[in-house]
Amino acid sequence: MKKRILTLAFIVTMIASLAGCGNKSGENGQVIVYNWGEYIDPETIEMFEKETGIKVVYDEFETNEIMYPKVKAGAVKYDVICPSDYMVAKMIESDLLHEINLDEMPNAKANIGKQYWEMSTQFDPGNKYSIPYCWGTVGILYNKEMISEPITSWADLWKPEYSGQILMQASVRDLLMVGLKKNGYSMNSLSEDELKVATKDLVEQKPLVQAYVIDEVRDKMIGNEAAIGIIYSGEAIYTQRENENLVYVYPEEGTNVWIDNWVITKNTENYENAVKFIDFMCRPDIAKINFDFITYSTPNEGAQALIEDDEIRNSYIAFPNLSDYKNLETYTYLGEDNDEMYNEFYKEILGADN
């Protein structure tokens, strides 16, 4: 029997290694793209390859932080990457990015809305390195069947009657942001005193919290496992489709607006192809296909106009009029020392007794 298992294993390997062959380069060279998982419609990549004859080598990452060391070490010479706002700032500081000339990208220039360029200046002054790709807000999702009074603010998450029903975010910035904003501070605060106040509040809140999660918010809210959760706007629309009792609100103390952006790396070997790739993704029809696939808001106004479903085009979740909401902020890169300070407070919260 042992021999049989081994023979079987060998046969499977042979088949597998045969199937693994065949890696052809395009007639016009290639472009190596490093993006979030499931963050593009594969169809648009095929269209790009067909139209330009450039082969796309596509790679995915899970978080900004797991992407950064791989890029910094230069293990693979990526051409195009899609980091979030504060990570763009960090990569600029580490001199990892190539400057972008908007005149080479007519689609990006024509279609990305003015307000998004302005927002980007918070982490990329002068819009020199990055092109907005997807954006959204962080808000509170609650189940109106499980909760009688509507929730309007971060402070509501401290009400004892919601004990065991609250899902908080398990990431340093997204968790501390809630404590800071609740007290009216900036989410990029560098004041140790302000962070202490925020931490104290979050520690007090811990017994009420059901769990600190990241991506499980979605499923737990759909399944009625919790009544209140902190969630990204792009996920909110999907959860509402699956469970009609869910309501998304912008907390009145203000919240986070995030943007994921295309950037080109400094040591790119395919600069021209990288430019073509990014510009292709900014074409309204292509951006529309990607929006339908990933459902995160697109900053592409050309694509927004192509959306046929009025309900989505006018949705306050997908495309809010940002001037309607107060105290919106984008994360900035705080520097290594401050990152550590944030992390210390974060550990204090998660390590506290329930």
Partner 1 sequence: MKTAGSVLKRIYIALIIIFMYAPIVTLIVLSFNSSKSRAKWGGFTTKWYVSLFQNDAILQAFFNTIAIATLSAIIATIIGTLSCLAINSMKRKGKTFWMGITNIPMLNAEIVTGISLMLVFIFLGVKFGFFTILIAHITFNIPYVILSIMPRMKNLNPSTYEAALDLGASPFVSFFKVVLPDLMPGILSGFLMAFTMSIDDFVITHFTKGPGVDTLSTKIYTEVKKGIKPEMYALSTIIFITILVLLFLVNVSGNDNKKEKIK
Partner 2 sequence: MLKNKQKLMLGLPYYFWAIAFIIIPLCLVIYYGLTDKTGAFTFNNIASIADPQHTKALWIAVKLSIISTIICLFLAYPLAMILVNFKKGKSSILVMLFILPMWMNFLLRTMAWQTLLENTGVINTLLQTIGLPKINIINTPGAIIFGMVYNFLPFMVLPIYNSLAKIDINVVNAARDLGANGIITFGRITLPLSLPGVISGITMVFVPALTTFVISAILGGNKILLIGNVIEQEFSQTSNWHLGSGLSMVLMVFIIISMIFTAIFDKDGEGLI
Closest CA to 170 of 226, 224, 231: 231
Interface mask toward partner 1 for 234-263; x: CB under 8 A: ----x---xx--------------------
| Residues 13-31 as b or e (16 or more Cβ within 10 Å = b) | eeeeeeeeeeeeebeeebb
Closest CA to 338 of 86, 151, 38: 86
Query: Is there binding between residue 204 and partner 2 (CB under 8 A)?
Result: no
41 binds, among partner 2, partner 1, none (CB under 5 to 8 A by kind): none
Structure tokens at 9: 């294993």
Contact pick of 71, 172, 217, 286 for partner 2 (by CB under 8 A): 172
Considering only residues 246 to 285 of the shown chain, the ones binding partner 2 according to CB under 8 A are none
Query: Is there binding between residue 1 and partner 2 (CB under 8 A)?
Result: yes
Identify whether the C-beta of residue 126 lies closer than 8 Å to the C-beta of residue 102. no
Contact pick of 170, 203, 294, 306 for partner 2 (by CB under 8 A): 170
Pairing of strands 80-81, 30-36: parallel
Give me the least distance between CB of 296 and partner 1, in Å please: 9
Q: How many residues bind partner 1 (CB under 8 A)?
A: 50
Structure tokens at 252: 């009145």
Q: Which stretch binds partner 1 (CB under 8 A): 74-82, 89-97, 152-160, 334-342?
A: 74-82
Q: Which is nearer to partner 1, 173 or 218 (CB)?
A: 218
Identify whether the C-beta of residue 112 lies closer than 8 Å to the C-beta of residue 300. yes
Q: Angle at Cα 128 formed by Cα 124 and Cα 134, nearest 5°?
A: 60
Query: Is there binding between residue 346 and partner 2 (CB under 8 A)?
Result: yes
Q: Which is nearer to partner 2, 306 or 341 (CB)?
A: 341
In the three-class reduction of DSSP (H, G, I as helix; E, B as strand; rest coil), residue 22 is classed as coil
Contact pick of 48, 61, 291, 319 for partner 1 (by CB under 8 A): 61
Closest CA to 331 of 169, 106, 208: 169
Give me the least distance between CB of 180 and partner 2, in Å please: 17
Give me the least distance between CB of 271 and partner 2, in Å please: 27
Please report how many Cα atoms fall inside a 13 Å half-sphere around the Cα of residue 339, on the Cβ side. 11
Q: Which is nearer to partner 2, 217 or 303 (CB)?
A: 217
DSSP alpha helix (H) spans, 53-189: 64-73, 85-93, 106-111, 114-120, 172-182
Q: Which residues pair with 141 in a beta bridge?
A: 229, 248
Binding interface with partner 1 (CB under 8 A): 1-2, 4-6, 8-10, 12-13, 15-17, 19-20, 23, 32, 34, 36-39, 42, 57-62, 66, 69-70, 73-76, 78, 214-215, 218-220, 222-225, 238, 242-243, 294
Binding interface with partner 2 (CB under 8 A): 1-2, 63, 65-66, 68-69, 170-172, 206, 209-213, 216, 220, 223-225, 336, 339-340, 342-344, 346-348, 350-351, 354
